[in-house]
Amino acid sequence: MKQPIEAAKNSARKGDVVANKKAGWFYTDVVKEHFFHPKNFLDQEEEMPDAYLGMVGSPACGDAMKVWLRIEKEADGEERIKAFKWKTFGCASAIASTSMLSVMVTENGGMNIETALALRPQDIMLRLGGLPARKVHCSVLGDKALRSAINDYFRKSGQLDRLQIEHGRFVDNVLKITDHDIEEAVLEGADTLEKVQAKTKVGTGDPSCIPEVEQLIRFYKEKYFGA
């Protein structure tokens, strides 16, 4: 006979699936796998005593995230992420996104630093098979936490010229429009792609960035207006 707590977990899982389907928040099997069986979760901080730490939080849904990286320089001078541990206080999407991110940056011998810095939220979402629209900001948090930890590495290794300025990350590489520009546009009332483009012209120089711009608009709308 199953223990009550196990039965409760199973009941909660079934209930979540039904509720998510009705609300249009259905999670893929990959998301559920990473939520119920998260990879590289940090049990005790003592596991990573010399790690580089990244922290990020979002008032949008109360998520908070910590990331610990172990980075090694190989014989050819390439810097690779050899270990990625994490903790998060947040929803299923935040847990699944961070779990998947931890796999992505450590598989195949570890991702090099430059490739890791170029990761986008949609890269994580693609590996997860998608996320509900209102939970896209959780994958945004994941890549922000990763960059924060890499910045810690740059600071501690004396590579201050390589520090990444978060609000200055280019979204449209042709017109040099940053995520901070998108944030400012949303704060000024631009709540659709068309309105953001009217203010910034984002995507007119580099149309390939439009999916990321749309994700950022949703993220900042939920962050500041709960929309």
Q: For residue 43, what are the contacts with CB-CB under 8 A and spacing of at least 6?
A: none
138 is catalytic: yes
Residue 85 CA to residue 156 CA, distance in Å, equals 19
Contact yes or no for 106/27 (Cβ under 8 A): no
CA max distance for the chain = 63
Q: For residue 20, what are the contacts with CB-CB under 8 A and spacing of at least 6?
A: 26, 27, 132
Residue 215 CA to residue 186 CA, distance in Å, equals 12
Contact yes or no for 154/117 (Cβ under 8 A): no
Catalytic residue of the set 51, 101, 104, 138: 138
Catalytic residue of the set 30, 55, 61, 175: 61
Alpha-helix residue ranges (DSSP H) falling in 129-209: 136-156, 179-187, 193-200
Show which residues are catalytic: 61, 138
